[in-house]
């Protein structure tokens, strides 16, 4: 008999949080996701890397149904992804997403951006939403920018606001789709530091990135994709020091300057 630790309401507190089974996706003739099987457990930080066009961002976007899939199954916390409607909106609230572009509302202040989802989707009281928003802005290091508009902030600050906005929904998992690729080099670390902190705090994270230092230090597991397939998965030390596949060896030789 294996014992499962059970929380209140018989919800397991450990175990698989995001499960993809035989997931396929085509863009026209292009087979961008080919029979993807991937399981992410609660509290795990999975970094997805690979050459451009390997399907990494599509994989990320499929997990909260920004991209539909042609076949296969995706479930989050034991529930299959809903097709549309209110159930999908609720699911998206459970899956925080941070994009390349910050996608903040330009006509709303930083504070309003972080409050909005709490009020509209989570139906939070305005005062409660504001308190939480301010605490989260403080946590990501932009508390002093609360009353400014996104255009008045640097790219690094905007991206940290976007992270705070996603966290405000109390997501079960956070998806990061190349969160630093649109940033100037000097702003990349300020965003990665916030992500490192989330990882240390036990947030379940799926991160598509080109930042190999982050993959080495924050990931529990590196998933290497090429041509729409998962070619290799390993703990960071093993992957970076001794990749098994030729594709991974070739990729690493091009990006790691020895």
Taking only the tens place, the pLDDT of each residue in 87-126 is: 887 788 889 999 988 889 999 999 999 999 889 888 899 9
Q: How many domains does one find in the chain?
A: 1
Q: What share of the chain has pLDDT > 90, as a percent?
A: 78
Please give the model's pTM, rounded to 2 decimal places: 0.90
The string of DSSP codes covering 47-108 is EEE-STTSSHHHHHHHHTTSS--SEEEEEETTEEPP-SHHHHHHHHHHEEEE-SS----TTS
Residue 164 lies in a domain: yes
The phi and psi torsions of 228 (rounded to 5 degrees) equal 80, 5
Q: 224 has which bridge partners?
A: 49, 232
- Domain hosting residue 167, numbered range: 104-171
Residue 97 domain-assigned (yes or no): no
Q: Is residue 14 part of a domain?
A: no
* Structural domain contains residue 160: yes
Q: Positive or negative CA dihedral for 55, 59, 62, 64?
A: negative
Percentages of the chain per state (helix, strand, coil), in multiples of 5: 40, 25, 35
Distance CA(210)–CA(216), nearest Å, equals 11
Rounded to whole angstroms, what are the CA distances from 121 to 90, 106, 117?
A: 7, 20, 5
- Closest by CA position to 218, among listed 39, 22, 56, 46: 46
pLDDT tens per residue, range 10-39:
444 568 999 999 999 999 999 999 999 999
Angstrom distance (rounded) from CA 15 to CA 220: 15
Give the confidence band of 43 by pLDDT, cuts at 50, 70, 90: very high
Residue 141 included in any domain: yes
Residue 249 included in any domain: no
Please determine, for residue 9, whether its predicted confidence score (pLDDT) is greater than 90. Answer: no
Answer yes or no: is 161 within a domain: yes
Residue 162 lies in a domain: yes
For residues 99 and 118, give the distance between their C-alpha atoms in angstroms, rounded to a whole number.
Answer: 19
Q: Average pLDDT over the chain, rounded to whole? A: 91
pLDDT in tens, 225-234: 999 999 999 9
- Per-residue pLDDT of 129-168, as tens digits, reads 999 999 999 999 999 999 999 999 999 999 999 999 999 9
**In the predicted model, is pLDDT for residue 83 greater than 80?**
no
């Amino acid at each position: 008999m294996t014992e499962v630790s059970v929380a209140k309401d018989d919800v397991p507190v450990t175990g698989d949080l995001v499960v993809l089974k035989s997931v396929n996706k085509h863009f026209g003739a292009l087979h961008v996701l080919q029979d993807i099987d991937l399981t992410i457990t609660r509290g795990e930080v999975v970094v997805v890397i690979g050459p451009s066009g390997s399907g990494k961002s599509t994989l990320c976007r499929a997990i909260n149904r920004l991209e539909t899939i042609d076949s296969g199954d995706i479930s989050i916390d034991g529930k299959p992804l809903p097709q549309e409607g209110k159930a999908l909106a609720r699911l998206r609230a459970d899956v925080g997403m941070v994009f390349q572009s910050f996608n903040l509302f330009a006509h709303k202040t930083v504070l309003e951006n972080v409050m909005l989802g709490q009020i509209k989707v989570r139906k939070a009281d305005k005062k409660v939403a504001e308190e939480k928003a301010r605490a989260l802005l403080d946590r990501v290091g932009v508390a002093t920018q609360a009353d400014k508009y996104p255009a008045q902030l640097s790219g690094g600050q905007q991206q940290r606001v976007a992270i705070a906005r996603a966290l405000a929904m109390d997501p079960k998992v956070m998806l990061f789709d190349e969160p630093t690729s649109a940033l100037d080099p000097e702003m990349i670390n300020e965003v990665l530091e916030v992500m490192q902190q989330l990882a240390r705090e036990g947030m379940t994270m799926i991160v598509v990135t080109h930042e190999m230092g982050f993959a080495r230090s924050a990931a529990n597991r590196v998933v290497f994709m090429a041509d729409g397939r998962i070619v290799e998965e390993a703990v960071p030390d093993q992957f970076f020091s001794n990749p098994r596949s030729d594709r991974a060896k070739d990729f690493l030789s091009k990006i790691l300057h020895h």
